[in-house]
Amino acid sequence: MSLGNQTGTIRWNHLFSQKLFSNFTLIHSMYDYRLGTPEGNANSFIWTSKMQNQSGKADFTWYINPNNTFKYGASMIVHTFDPGHAKGTGSESLFTEFTLPHNYALEYGVYLSNEQRINEKFLVKYGVRFSAFQNIGPGTVYNYDQDYNVMDSVVYGKRKIYKTYKALEPRLGINYIISNTASIKASYSGTVQYIHLAQNSTAGTPLDLWFASSPNVKPQKADQFAIGYFRNIKDNALETSAEVYYKSMHDVIDFKDNAELLLNPQLEGELRTGKGWSYGLELMVRKNTGKLNGWISYTLSATRRKIAGINDGRSYRAPYEKPHNISVVLNYEFSERSVLSANWVYATGAPVTFPTGRAVIGNVIVPIYSDRNAYRLPDYHRLDVSYTLKGKNKKNRKWQGEWNFSVYNAYGRKNAWAINFVEDQDNPNQTFAEKTYLFSIIPAITYNFKF
């Protein structure tokens, strides 16, 4: 298996005047992977998938005066999706070539925004982004009935634009400065997403499959409101913040039960869309300077989805909903050369679906599952420690070395990565829960060498 990301950027910065800064960028970005079995067998095959895009953008910043900074610009992306291609390898291959149709899309964005200081106390940032998305031929669109079965398909010719979506995305930020060390901020942002990832697994795999919005798949939309209080203590040495947010999402995508995502030309029939919402409180204390520095953060949050066709239309927890989350990151600098660092993380266990009953069919124990994500994995926590010692900075030495001693998961907690229910070897009628954990204590010594 191999995968690769490749990006290339050509950039040109130009000052039209001392007040007008511009940036022009051309970007090429590609992501591909291949997966196969060893050659020389009638069953050997290779599977490749690729997506790439070319984009161009122009951004301008106009420093009107100390109270107004105006930004505007435009961008365009050409997307090419080559979702899958499988073929046999070797001369006596059994397989015929199998290619999922390529598809193409264009994405545009135009924006205006201004950061304005109304007075000493009051700052605002307001802007709007207009975005559009078009499917462009050649392409094949399947039409589905209400049960998501394919009725027929339409083939569009080259350069034929067969679907256009448009959206306005307002962005607003307000800052009220209470004093030199405290402020209250509020923001609203509207966002739209036109390309999506067909990912069903909880852990990300490199075998990601991106797909575009289309006549069957509406873009995802979100509105987020946030309000926060920011306060610096001890001459700005300690930055503290508290933010609350509410995010409402429309046309969010999830996959039906037992969805088939790989090498499926009718992937769109496996999708279900609906509403999602999430809200939370985020607290953070950060110390950037001094011998002891780092941050402590706590998040209290909830995220749910309600999608027709999933969990019988009842709302369920999003896969990443972990209500309590604590991170502690601390560094202690004994000297310029020697630093001790530690971090501790805690998170409520991720939501999972467990069996609540069983049936026996064809001599196999078949689990009957709970509502989607009705259970949770055990809570996750872990401590990592590291000590870095830099070599002496000798003048006539052209290189610098650095020793790093680290311990990952210092107290060896066996955090559950997955829980499976398996049959007892001795008694096939007996089933039990088994957790899989990836890492216990992992010490490492690294020598970094720079010249």
Partner 1 sequence: MKKLFCIIALITAFNLTGTLVMAYPDSEEAGGKRFTISGNIKDKLTGEELIGATIYIKEIKTGTTTNVYGFYSISLNPGKYTITYTYIGYTAVEKAIELKENLRLDIDLQTREQLLKEVVIKGERPDENIRKPEMSVVRMDIKTINRIPALMGEVDIIKAIQMLPGVQSTAEGSSGFSVRGGGPDQNLILLDEAIVYNASHLLGFFSVFNNDAIKDVTLYKGDIPASSGGRLSSLLDIRMKDGNHNLKQAYHRRACYKRPHFFPGCRQKNLC
Partner 2 sequence: MQNNRINIKIKALVLLGSAMLIFNACTERIDIDLEESYTRLVVEGMVTTDTLAHTIRLTSTTSYYYSETAPAVSGATVTIDDGTSVITLTETEPGTYKTPTDYYGIPGRTYQLNIGLATAINGHETYTAVSGMSPKLTLDSISSVYHEDWGSDGYYEIKCYVLDPPSTDYYMFRVIKNGVLVSDSLTRVLVTDDRFYNGNYTNGVGIGFLNQSFEKEIVTPGDDLTIESSRITEEYYRFISQLQIQSGYQNPLFSGPPANISGNISNGGIGFFAAYPVSYSKTIASGL
Per CB under 8 A, which of residues 59..78 are in contact with partner 1? 59-66, 69, 71-74, 76-77
| CA 103 – CA 139 distance, rounded (Å) | 5
Q: What is the DSSP letter of 267?
A: G
Pick between residue 152 and residue 447 the one whose CB is nearest to partner 2.
447
Neighbour-count burial of 202, counting CB atoms closer than 10 A to its CB (0-12 exposed, 13-18 middle, 19+ buried): middle
d(CA 270, CA 272): 7
In the bound state with partner 1, the residue whose beta carbon lies nearer, of 312 and 336, is 336
| Distance from C-alpha of 426 to C-alpha of 441, rounded to nearest angstrom | 32
Name 32's Cβ contacts closer than 8 Å, sequence gap at least 6. 3, 4, 48, 49, 50, 51, 52
What x-and-dash track marks residues 87-116 binding partner 2 by CB under 8 A?
-x---x-xxx-x------------------
| Paired strand residues for 247 | 224, 278
What is the smallest separation between the CB atom of 262 and partner 1, expressed in angstroms? Answer: 15
Q: What residue 3 binds from partner 1, partner 2, none (CB within 5 to 8 A, per partner kind)?
A: partner 1
Candidate residues 19, 356, 411, 412; the one interacting with partner 2 per rule CB under 8 A = 356
Among partner 2, partner 1, none, what binds residue 108 when CB lies within 5 to 8 Å by partner kind? partner 1
311 touching partner 1, by CB under 8 A:
no
For partner 2, which is the closer residue by CB, 158 or 398?
398
Kindly state the smallest distance separating residue 97's Cβ from partner 1, in Å. Answer: 25
| Alpha-helix residue ranges (DSSP H) falling in 235-355 | none
* Closer CB to partner 2, 173 or 355, in the complex: 355
| Site membership for partner 2, residue 419 (CB under 8 A) | yes
Do residues 346 and 325 lie in contact, with contact meaning Cβ atoms separated by under 8 Å? yes
Site for partner 2 in 192-211 (CB under 8 A): 200-203, 205, 207
Q: Which of residues 266-285 bind partner 1 (CB under 8 A)?
A: 276, 278, 280, 282-284
Tokens 């078949």 correspond to what residue? 366
List the structure tokens of 379.
Answer: 């809570």
Chain position carrying tokens 């039990």: 432
Asked whether position 436 contacts partner 2 by CB under 8 A, the answer is yes
| Part in contact with partner 1 (CB under 8 A); list of ranges 93-101, 149-157, 220-228, 357-365 | 220-228
